[in-house]
Chain A
Amino acid sequence: MTSPMVSSSNLLHRRAVIGELLRDRGDLLCVASLGAPNWDITAVGDHPNNFPLWGAMAASVMMGLGLAIAQPNRRVIVFAGDGEMLMSLGALATVGAQKPRNLSVVVLDNERYGETGMQKTHTAAGVDLTAVAKGCAIPTCLTVKTEAEIAGLRRAVYEGEGPVFATVKIDPEALPFVLPPSDGVILTTRFRQSVLGNEALYN
Chain B
Amino acid sequence: MSIGSIKAVSANPTWPDEIYQVLKEVGVQQVALVPDAGHTRLIKSFEADNSVRVVSLTTEEEGIAMLAGAWLGGQKGVLLLQSSGVGNCINMLSLPNICRMPLLMLVTMRGEFGEFNPWQVPMGQGTQPALESMGVIIRRADKPEDVTRTVAGAAHLAFNTWRPVAVLIGQNVLGAKNFKEMAQK
Q: Tell me the A residues contacting B by CB distance below 8 Å.
A: 29, 31, 51, 53, 55-71, 88, 90-91, 93-94, 97-98, 184-185, 187-188, 191-192, 195-196, 200
Contacts and interface: CB of A to CB of B under 8 A. Distances in A.
B69 A31 contact: yes
Given A70-B73, A97-B56, A191-B72, A59 B101 contact: no
B69 A70 contact: yes
B55 A59 contact: no
Is chain B's interface secondary structure helix, strand, loop, or mixed overall?
Answer: helix
Interface residues of B, number: 33
Interface of B: 29-30, 32, 53, 55-59, 61-75, 77, 91-92, 94-95, 98-101
A91 B92 contact: no
A67 B91 CA distance: 20
A69 B92 contact: no
Is chain A's interface secondary structure helix, strand, loop, or mixed overall?
Answer: helix
Given A65-B69, A66-B67, A69-B30, A59 B95 contact: yes
Nearest to B160: A203
Nearest to B32: A66
B73 A66 contact: yes
Contacts of A93: 58
A68 B77 CA distance: 14
B154 to A, nearest CB: 18
A110 B82 CA distance: 37
A184 B58 contact: no
Contacts of A59: 64-65, 68, 92, 95
